[in-house]
Structure 1
Amino acid sequence: MTVILERPYTFVPPHRGNLWPTAIQKLRLIDRHLRNRESVVSYELRHADRLAESLAAGHGIVLAPNHCRYADPIVLGWLARQVNTHLYAMASWHLFNTNSFEAFALRRMGAFSIYREGNDRQAIETSIEIIANAERPLVLFPEGTTNRTNDLLKPLLDGVSFIARAAAKKREKAGLGKVVMHPVGLKYLCVGDAWKWADEKLRDLEVALSWQPRPASTNPQAILERLFRVSEAYLALKEIEHVGKASAGDLRPRRDELIHFLLSRSESRYGLPTVRDACVRERVRKVRAAVATAYFAPDPETGAVIERDPAQYRIDSEAADLAQFLLSFPDQYLTPGQITDTRIVETIQRIQEAIYGKANETMPMSVIIEVDHAIEVSSKRGPRGEPDPLLCQLESRLRTMMEALSKEARDFEQTDHAVSSR
């Protein structure tokens, strides 16, 4: 659950010193963490010199990567090591509330909190200050959240361009020079046998669903058919849990109907407008904000804290999380001609998160970290009523990189298993 009900939000500032991040790099702690916790065993840096040039020029720097896995902020430590710098990064507040060690480690690596359920002025001002003073490059994920879909880019949030422009204006006024934004493409590739891994993990999921396990098979077509069956079973279980019965038909309209049901129920409870065609991510954000606001609202007369039963608030928060999670199963991701081994692994791991609460990170991965040319950030916004030119340029650059990087995965039709099964 991303809305924290145990205590109201308090800003977690970044650790400003260099001793801890330097020690973390010297001891190769990020390498160990990525290998042991995320199974990211190797990396390839492309065009790190572009970032090095911006650092040498003394620019205020924003790094804007795509966001497909929880490992993303950590793998950028390899880029930082290559160009001899440290990074700051904005991270959702709920990540600082998992356990005390992770909260400690996040801060020492340069992370600070952002309250996604409301307007977090401290986080925004901290971001602007970091860029304007050119303390270190600041990592801002323009998609906002991760959804384990490496080849697709979600709509970008305008916060990244607002922060970059505000910093550029502040830096320009002080005569300190430019602010630049580097789009960064992250692409994870399977190192081991994805089909063998998929067969084993699908068998585990089938057992969890009380099905008779299928005979071991690494035939990609059989893997794909089993994956669709498990996906449909998960959706049917959620329909029964929330609506009372499973529906029939194609998965996409069923998914969309369940998302609408989950959100409209909470919207009605908090007096929010229900617009079926509205952006799901925006509806989720408003529900989460309403939950947090209502739960922590003080007594209107005395201003005293009110002890409330968190049960219903948890239900609404978890419904919003589920709606966003269901949206992360993208349309056309596993269509003929577009299927790769990494897409199969991503989809299985997404279902594992849904059923077990955590993905099985045992598929060895290598990551490509590609730095694009710097985009100079203007302090002026585009004409009113027109698309933000900075956000449009960033989106175009990221899409181009991701499209090219997606072709480096092993294609479904070209694997040894597919050939041998014909």
Structure 2
Amino acid sequence: MTVILDRPYTFVPPHRGNLWPTAIQKLRLIDRHLRKREAVIDYELRHADRFAESLAAGHGILLAPNHCRYADPIVLGWLSREVGTHLFAMASWHLFNTNSFEAFALRRMGAFSVNREGNDRQAIETAIDTLVSAERPLVLFPEGTTNRTNDLLKPLLEGVSFIARTAAKKRAKANGGKVVMHPIGLKYLCIGDAWEWADEKLRELELALSWQPRQTGTDPQSILKRLFRVSEAYLALKEIEHVGQASSGDLRPRRDALIQFLLARSEGRYGLASPRDACVRERVRKVRTAVAAAYFAPDPETGKPVTRDPAEYLDDSSAVDLAQFLLSFPDKYLTPGEITDTRIVETIQRIQEAIYGEAKETMPMSVVIEVDHAIEVPTERGPRGEPDPLLCHLDARLRTMIDALSKEARDFERRDPVVPSR
């Protein structure tokens, strides 16, 4: 749930002291958290010296990683430890509303909130000021959200280049300093036996669907057939829940039809246009904004708050969340000849999130954290009406890294041997 309906959005500023983040690093608390909660038990840093050089030069630094797992912000703590700095990071407001401990920990580690459903000027200004002052490097995930597709990059948000360029202009005017952007490639690799793990987790999903688990063992082709079967069952259940009946045929057009149905229904309730060719993520954002605005709208005559039944608003918010979630199953992620152990694990974990409400982080992982060369941020955008050159440059750099890193995973269909952790 992204839209929080128990209270209106309020900005959560970052904690600026160094005592807490220093203690967290010295006590290796991020290592314990990643091992226990995310099953990320090892890491490899590549070209951290590039980041260190920008720090030594005194630049305002923006770190721009791909975003494929919930562990991403925490694993960057290993990079910051290596170069001897702390970080600030922009994080969705709903993450500060899970429980009091996580909200406390997020702030102490340098996170501040952003309202993804609206124009959050405080968050933008905080990000810009951080880069201008160069107090600490700033982490912004240019994809905005995560969806467990480590080998694919979602469209980048223009807000990242706007923040970087505005800060570069202010910093140049203030002291002649520079703002640089480091693309960061994150790649998670399975350490354990993904075939045995997949067999076990598919058995659990089959039982959750009231099926008799298939006794097929760890044969790759049998696992793939079971995975597609479970995926189809989940889609059929959602079709019945929202449309009234399951359809037939290939999964992709069925998925797209359900996404369109969910979005159009919610858009109709709030008087929004329903353009089929518009970006799904943008349509989702507009509905979420409309939900929050309608729910918290004051009485038009008195201007006083109004108590409303949240049920209908939660239904619309949940519907567009489901539309965005369905889009997280890429069309060609499991193309024969390109299937890796990490892609199988990611797909199963997406289904676990759908059925259980959260993924079971029990597959031991290591993460490669690769730092690209610094991109000096220009102060001007470029010709009006043309693609943003800074965003295009970042997109190309990230795609090149992600494509190269994707080849380091093991081939699932050939059942490449398990590589032990160091």
Corresponding residue of 2:103: 103
Cα deviation, residue 413, structure 1: 3.3
Is contact 1:151–1:402 with CA below 8 Å preserved after alignment? yes
Corresponding residue of 2:408: 408
Which whole-Å deviations, capped at 9, do the CAs of 1:183-207 have from their partners, x for residues lacking one? Answer: 0000000000000000000000000
Amino acid at match of 1:119: N
Is contact 2:164–2:179 with CA below 8 Å preserved after alignment? yes
- Give the Cα–Cα distance (whole angstroms) in 2 for the partners of residues 175 and 208 of structure 1: 61
Corresponding residue of 1:149: 149
Kindly tell me the number of residue pairs found equivalent between the two proteins.
Answer: 418
- Give the Cα–Cα distance (whole angstroms) in 2 for the partners of residues 414 and 105 of structure 1: 42
- Give the Cα–Cα distance (whole angstroms) in 1 for the partners of residues 377 and 59 of structure 2: 11
Which whole-Å deviations, capped at 9, do the CAs of 1:236-289 have from their partners, x for residues lacking one? Answer: 000000000000110000000000000000000000001111110000000000
- 379-388 vs 171-180, which moves further: 171-180
Amino acid at match of 1:366: S
Task: Report SS of the residue matched to 1:116.
Answer: coil
Alignment of 1:50-129 (within 5 A): 50-129=50-129
- Give the Cα–Cα distance (whole angstroms) in 2 for the partners of residues 54 and 32 of structure 1: 29
Residue 18, structure 1, aligned to residue 11, structure 2 = no
- Give the Cα–Cα distance (whole angstroms) in 2 for the partners of residues 408 and 46 of structure 1: 14
- Give the Cα–Cα distance (whole angstroms) in 2 for the partners of residues 271 and 205 of structure 1: 39
Is contact 1:340–1:410 with CA below 8 Å preserved after alignment? yes
Cα deviation, residue 416, structure 1: 4.7
Corresponding residue of 1:46: 46
Corresponding residue of 2:389: 389
Task: Report SS of the residue matched to 2:183.
Answer: strand
- Give the Cα–Cα distance (whole angstroms) in 2 for the partners of residues 29 and 185 of structure 1: 23
Task: Report SS of the residue matched to 1:165.
Answer: helix
Cα deviation, residue 216, structure 1: 5.1
Which whole-Å deviations, capped at 9, do the CAs of 1:352-410 have from their partners, x for residues lacking one? Answer: 00000000000000000000000000010110000000000000000000000000000
Corresponding residue of 2:266: 266
Unaligned stretches of 5+ in structure 2? none
Corresponding residue of 1:317: 317
Task: Report SS of the residue matched to 2:413.
Answer: helix
- Give the Cα–Cα distance (whole angstroms) in 1 for the partners of residues 21 and 87 of structure 2: 9
- Give the Cα–Cα distance (whole angstroms) in 1 for the partners of residues 22 and 163 of structure 2: 27
Cα deviation, residue 233, structure 1: 0.2
- Give the Cα–Cα distance (whole angstroms) in 1 for the partners of residues 63 and 82 of structure 2: 15
- Give the Cα–Cα distance (whole angstroms) in 2 for the partners of residues 161 and 390 of structure 1: 6
Amino acid at match of 1:70: Y
Task: Report SS of the residue matched to 2:63.
Answer: strand
Task: Report SS of the residue matched to 1:413.
Answer: coil
Is contact 2:63–2:137 with CA below 8 Å preserved after alignment? yes
Cα deviation, residue 215, structure 1: 1.3
Cα deviation, residue 414, structure 1: 3.0
Is contact 1:219–1:417 with CA below 8 Å preserved after alignment? no
Is contact 1:62–1:181 with CA below 8 Å preserved after alignment? yes
Is contact 2:221–2:413 with CA below 8 Å preserved after alignment? no
Cα deviation, residue 301, structure 1: 1.6
- Give the Cα–Cα distance (whole angstroms) in 1 for the partners of residues 156 and 354 of structure 2: 25
Cα deviation, residue 214, structure 1: 1.2
Which whole-Å deviations, capped at 9, do the CAs of 1:85-121 have from their partners, x for residues lacking one? Answer: 0000000000000000000000000000000000000
Alignment of 1:6-405 (within 5 A): 6-215=6-215, 217-405=217-405
Amino acid at match of 1:290: A
Is contact 2:143–2:156 with CA below 8 Å preserved after alignment? yes
Cα deviation, residue 157, structure 1: 0.4
Is contact 2:216–2:222 with CA below 8 Å preserved after alignment? no
- Give the Cα–Cα distance (whole angstroms) in 1 for the partners of residues 131 and 380 of structure 2: 16
- Give the Cα–Cα distance (whole angstroms) in 2 for the partners of residues 300 and 60 of structure 1: 45
Unaligned stretches of 5+ in structure 1? none
- Give the Cα–Cα distance (whole angstroms) in 2 for the partners of residues 96 and 385 of structure 1: 37
- Give the Cα–Cα distance (whole angstroms) in 1 for the partners of residues 395 and 416 of structure 2: 35
TM-score, normalised via structure 1 length = 0.98
Task: Report SS of the residue matched to 1:288.
Answer: helix
What RMSD in Å do the two structures reach over aligned CA positions?
0.9
Which whole-Å deviations, capped at 9, do the CAs of 1:145-177 have from their partners, x for residues lacking one? Answer: 000000000000000000000000110110241
Cα deviation, residue 321, structure 1: 0.4
Cα deviation, residue 412, structure 1: 2.0
- Give the Cα–Cα distance (whole angstroms) in 1 for the partners of residues 88 and 13 of structure 2: 11
Runs of 4+ in 1 over 2 A off after TM superposition: none
Amino acid at match of 1:313: Y
- Give the Cα–Cα distance (whole angstroms) in 1 for the partners of residues 297 and 288 of structure 2: 14
Amino acid at match of 1:12: V
- Give the Cα–Cα distance (whole angstroms) in 2 for the partners of residues 103 and 176 of structure 1: 37
- Give the Cα–Cα distance (whole angstroms) in 2 for the partners of residues 306 and 289 of structure 1: 18
Is contact 2:38–2:71 with CA below 8 Å preserved after alignment? yes
Is contact 1:220–1:417 with CA below 8 Å preserved after alignment? no
